[in-house]
Amino acid sequence: MTTNALVPSSLCREAEDKREATRKLGYVARAATIFRVDRLTVFPDPDGAGKWDGGFVETVLRYAATPPYLRKAVWDRRDELECVGVLPPLRVATRTGSGSDDSGSLRQGIVTEVGPDGRVRVNCGLQHPISLPVPDDRNLREGERVTVRVSSRRPVRAKLTDEPPAGFQVDRADLDTALARSNVGITIAASRHGQPLTSGRIGQLIGTIDGAGGDLTVVFGAPERGLPAILGVDAESAGSATVAELAAADDTEDGTGDAVTGSRPDGTRFDLWLNTVPNQGSEVVRTEEAMFATLAPLTLTE
């Protein structure tokens, strides 16, 4: 099961300075961490661009997603990272164990040296870089990021693995490319113009997501510039498909969930436009606030 979140390059457009923009991105990273987002994609919104463009947004989010013990090795001094001291700690939970130092946990590492004997030295946040054998089917280079499974710290016992580490990865792609990936699953546009999410509908929606394999992709807009404006679609028709129609379309499938696209209100991109703050008390729900409000109910289990 994969959870993807897509945010626009314009999500910091209302920030008055770099410090405020960085702090805002820290809350985006916190939401992605708390709700176990696997991939956080920044998609372009050139018409809504302010002082902080997609390059700034992607760089700060990549920095935030980098484990603290690797940041010095991975990142040099960059203008985009001038205010990263205001980022909140993510405290990413490992996939096994309750803390980053537990036996059997997965850790991100960076290759610091490639030896001639089929071994590499990897900095994965232990006291010293560790020497590990490279599997025959892999070719590693200096500076490459890897995942290490640490089964013992004293003495150190670890191995390279293909398993994804805890936390989320960050990339930048246009919306159509991101939505064409194989693991997008049910695609939801978070918008005040979407169908309101109610207590009676949440169970039906969760069942539909599970029935489509559990993969989920949620797309968010920017402050004062929602998805209809970003995508150039009619706001009134965006919320025409209901949760019930989505579930009915999914029931006709063989489990792949592909034909739910027939009910997409904008004709191409999303299975459902959804309003997860139907009685909002503020005229504007910021992107980071929408992420908390939307991912919380959508990641519930039956």
* Helix/strand/coil (H/E/C) assignment for every residue in 84-148: HHHCCCCCCCCCCCCCCCCCCEEEEEEEEEECCCCEEEEECCCCCCEEEECCCCCCCCCCCEEEE
By percentage, how much of the chain surpasses pLDDT 70?
A: 86
Query: Which residue, among 218, 299, 217, 212, has the nearest Cα to 250 in the 3D structure?
Result: 212
Handedness of CA 86, 63, 298, 221 (dihedral sign): positive
Q: What is the pLDDT of residue 248?
A: 67
More confident residue, 244 or 77: 77
Please write the tens of the pLDDT for every residue from 104-123.
678 889 999 998 888 999 99
* Band (52; pLDDT cuts 50, 70, 90): confident
**pLDDT average, residue stretch 147-161:** 89
pTM of structure = 0.85
Of 183 and 103, the structure prediction assigns the larger pLDDT to 183
Confidence at residue 71, expressed as pLDDT on a 0 to 100 scale: 92
Q: Which of 104, 99, 94 minimizes the C-alpha distance to 159?
A: 104
First and final CA of the chain: distance in angstroms? 15
pLDDT value at position 251? Answer: 58
Q: pLDDT confidence of 170, banded at 50, 70, 90?
A: very high
Among 53-62, 92-101, 122-131, 213-222, whose mean pLDDT is lowest?
92-101
Q: Count the helix, strand and coil residues of the chain and give each as a percent rounded to the nearest 5.
A: 35, 25, 45
pLDDT of 231 above 60: yes
| pLDDT score at 116 | 83
At 51 the pLDDT is 85
Mean pLDDT of 266-276: 81
Euclidean distance between CA atoms 11 and 222, whole angstroms: 5
**% the chain with pLDDT above 90:** 53
DSSP-derived letter for residue 189 is: E
pLDDT score recorded for residue 97: 45
User: Rounded to an integer, what distance in angstroms lies between the CA atom of residue 239 and that of residue 234?
Assistant: 10
Q: What is the pLDDT of residue 1?
A: 84
Range of lowest pLDDT (3-17, 99-113, 254-268): 254-268
Mean pLDDT across the stretch 85-106? 71
SS3 6: strand
| pLDDT band, very low/low/confident/very high, at 98 (cuts 50, 70, 90) | very low
DSSP state letter for 213: T
Confidence of residue 236 (pLDDT cuts 50, 70, 90): confident
